[in-house]
Structure 1
Amino acid sequence: MDRGDEAAFAEFVTREWTRLVRVAFLLTGDLGRAEDLVQQTLVKVHRHWVRVHRDGSPYGYTRAALVNESTSWWRRKRVDETLGEIPAHADRARSDAYAGIDNRQELIQALAKLPPRMRAVIVLRFYDDLSEAEAAHALGISVGSVKSQTSRGLIRMRAAITDASEPGRLTPTTSTKGA
């Protein structure tokens, strides 16, 4: 790579770092792992930067690589996830900061309960605001799969949020025995 390509890559990383970490955080549920995931992905993107930059869609390519890297991690690890903190730089509601944080935490917890592919579809469709066709292309799956994964994912997330917000509702981890 020549100096111009290196400078373009450095400028891309500086400009898109926060955005990529946010996507990775939504995919992993852990800020440290999200940053590691972005770094691993950027190392791989750097190898192909001349072609990626020339094609004119470096963010889209990098986002797809990020999702693929996240999926590969899930396949290798297969461990239960615990959610970390909400990134300090995440967008927050200015009018009622506490409600915004509470709502975000509920969404992040519901998102973390989804399987990796379903989570990736939801993140790409609603966080990155991709169309069904764009999400399908980014994930290498059919538009029909994106539609069904979106529908099922939203149903699961709604159920998780409803369960968590109904006081006194029994969940599989609560019991009335001994009360």
Structure 2
Amino acid sequence: MNSDLSPHEAFELFFLKNRHKLVNAVAAWTGDRHLAEDIAQEVMATLAAYRYDRPEILMYQMARQRLSRPAFIPSQYHPLDSKIDEIDRRTCVSGADSVVDSLDLDAELLRALRRLPARQREVIVLEVICDLSQEQVAEILGIRGSTVKTHKARGLRKLEELMARRLSATGPGAEQPVGGV
């Protein structure tokens, strides 16, 4: 954070720059925008109350910790997979895509992301969607840079395969699959 600013002003700048990234990361991991907003709010409140050397790394670590605490996740929480299936079944209902649309990401990409193993999804969200460096992702996830590189390569390959399959299945003359991906 900038040393010319008061701690309050520095945090305000940090908040404005990073909150949206954190919400999008958690939303992409979970598929639940409301849960992402709750976690981001809790993380930002914690970061505002204390001084940290590297809050941009810590915020993602804290969000991941919140997600690993079963008591934090509300009982009505349903991962994106079930919401997308529900949306696919109700395409005729006005506004059914609002769950997906609110995530700032393409619905097809979110479907494919949710089909990746958790670690590959975490790496891709942090490095590609949140635009963090390989070193930052390694620090956040507590793994080596080479492991990040491996998960990213495998995840991107799988995403490409899933998206290509989806596009070929929904191309001209192809029948729409029932129930989504």
Instruction: Give the TM-score of the pair, scaled to structure 2.
Output: 0.66
Aligned equivalent of 2:14, options 12, 15, 20: 12
Aligned equivalent of 2:56, options 55, 59, 72: 59
Provide the aligned C-alpha RMSD in A.
3.3
Residue aligning to 1:85: 100
Residue 69 in structure 1 maps to residue 66 in structure 2:
yes
Q: Could you say if the C-alpha distance between residues 173 and 6 of structure 1 is closer, same or farther in structure 2, counting changes exceeding 3 Å?
A: closer
Q: Could you say if the C-alpha distance between residues 10 and 133 of structure 1 is closer, same or farther in structure 2, counting changes exceeding 3 Å?
A: closer
Q: CA deviation at 1:42?
A: 2.4
Structure 2 CA distance for aligned equivalents of residues 116 and 72 of structure 1: 16
Q: Contact conserved, 1:124 with 1:135, CA < 8 A, in 2? A: yes
5+ residue gaps, structure 1, are: 91-100, 175-179
Structure 1 CA distance for aligned equivalents of residues 144 and 166 of structure 2: 33
- Letter in structure 1 aligned against 2:55: P
Aligned equivalent of 1:111, options 106, 110, 113: 113
Structure 1 CA distance for aligned equivalents of residues 43 and 109 of structure 2: 25
Residue 161 in structure 1 maps to residue 163 in structure 2:
yes
Q: Report sequence identity in percent.
A: 25
Q: CA deviation at 1:141?
A: 0.9
Q: Of Structure 1 and Structure 2, which has the larger fraction of its residues in helix? A: 1
Q: How many equivalent residue pairs? A: 153
Residue aligning to 2:35: 33
Q: CA deviation at 1:172?
A: 10
- Letter in structure 2 aligned against 1:159: E
After superposition, give the CA deviation of every residue in 1:93-137 in whole Å (9 maximum; x if it has no partner): xxxxxxxx7xx2211111122232221111111122223222111
- Letter in structure 1 aligned against 2:116: L
Q: Contact conserved, 1:71 with 1:116, CA < 8 A, in 2? A: no
Q: Contact conserved, 1:45 with 1:62, CA < 8 A, in 2? A: yes
Structure 2 CA distance for aligned equivalents of residues 16 and 133 of structure 1: 18
